[in-house]
Amino acid sequence: MTQTHPKVELHLHLEGAAPPAFIRGLAAEKKMDISGIFDERGNYSYTDFWQFLKVYEAATETLKIPEDYHRLTLAVLEESAASGVIYSETFLSPDFCGGRDVGAWREYLHAIREAADLAEKRDGIILRGIVTAIRHFGPEKSKETALCAAETAGDWLVGFGLAGDEKMGKPKDFAWSFDAAREAGLRLTAHAGEWGGPESVRDAICDLGIERVGHGVRAIEDLALVDEIAEKGIVLEVCPGSNIALGLYPGWRTHPIHRLRERGVKVTVSTDDPPFFHTTMAREYQMLAEAFDWDDGVFEEIAKTSLAAAFCDEATREAVAKRLSE
Ligand code: ADE
Ligand code: ZN
């Protein structure tokens, strides 16, 4: 179940998946000095969540043109496919791709889609995109982001979300953006219950009408909320290795994914920003198997839950389902 078994990943930030060597290469080409974001071994270096976000943004500064995103997409999908991922959804931000200008955003999106098509032919992995507003950039910028998303919504761009610093503002500040995205036919998810507590998850569900929650793990601090999430069939995009690397939980055995699943919540497993957290999908599966004694059956159930919650069209879902059952 670790390396070769087919996996479905729902929560992956494209820039956050950039291998450090790839970013160093781009920086060298552009004569940019970003040595401060790496440690002596060449890995991304940060001490807390806010600094992690700043290092993420500094690395993203090297991605200046659509061609850079084309190369990034190919590099990221190669890594995902090597971990056995056959279907993936990635977060994309018009903030980083063309400064929220719709025309520029279209060019970035085109470059990313072209790379995704190549990777599908090369590695058999299918990618779909979710436009993501960045919470600490504020509600006004998120409206521009939502308009970019609405303009390009369709068969490939399937969702809208919210990432960034959960401590800034409230979900309802972003309700206009989520309404616009919903009207454009996009499916909805938002980061909540990572750096905010259960009330943050409750607010995101009530005020944004999301059907999936990014992380959501801190719902465990309020069992009535856990039961509500289970009853409503809301899916959690759980990224255990990310939570542990960022210090939310001291180790795998204390991570709440097991308890959430036991209480009936639909949990899925993703990597979030894999090189930042020294992880891969294969490693997530391996560590979960060891921590909770999960067998192949549990991982098969998780892959099916993930595919059922994917934002793709039904023909794509069926094609991936066939491969999951091979
Ligand atoms: N952007 C990239 N990774 C993130 C995370 N784990 N939480 C919030 N925003 C993010
Ligand atoms: Zn995330």
Span 43-53, average pLDDT:
97
Q: Is 24 in the pocket of ligand 1 (CB under 6 A)?
A: no
Half-sphere exposure of 24 (CA within 13 A, CB side): 12
On average, the pLDDT of the chain sits at 97
Give 64-96 pLDDT, tens digit per residue.
999 999 999 999 999 999 999 999 999 999 999
Is residue 1 predicted with pLDDT exceeding 60? no
At what angle are helices 314-324 and 296-309 packed, to 10 degrees?
170
Is residue 119 predicted with pLDDT exceeding 70? yes
Is residue 2 predicted with pLDDT exceeding 90? no
Q: How would residue 326 be classed by pLDDT, with cut points 50, 70 and 90?
A: confident
Give 191-229 pLDDT, tens digit per residue.
999 999 999 999 999 999 999 999 999 999 999 999 999
Domains by residue range for the chain, with CATH = 7-315 (3.20.20.140)
Report the distance separating Cα 220 and Cα 193, nearest Å. Answer: 9
Catalytic (active site) residue 194: yes
Span 164-185, average pLDDT:
98
What b/e sequence results for 33-52 when a residue is b if at least 16 CB atoms lie within 10 Å of its CB, and e otherwise? ebeebbeeeeebbbeebeeb
Is residue 3 predicted with pLDDT exceeding 90? no
| Residue listed under structure tokens 């055995």 | 253
Output the pTM of the full model: 0.98
Span 21-27, average pLDDT:
98
Report the distance separating Cα 132 and Cα 94, nearest Å. Answer: 8
Question: From the alpha carbon of 15, which atom of ligand 1 is closest?
Answer: 2
Q: Is 95 in the pocket of ligand 1 (CB under 6 A)?
A: no
The Å distance, Cα 309 to ligand 2 centre, comes to: 17
The Å distance, Cα 90 to ligand 2 centre, comes to: 10
Residue 5 confidence (pLDDT): 85
- Tell me the three-class secondary structure of 141-192, residue by residue: HHHHHHHHHHHHCCCCEEEEEEECCCCCCCHHHHHHHHHHHHHCCCEEEEEE
Active-site residue, selected from the candidate residues 15, 89, 144, 194: 194
Q: Is there a contact between 241 and 209 (Cβ–Cβ < 8 Å)?
A: no
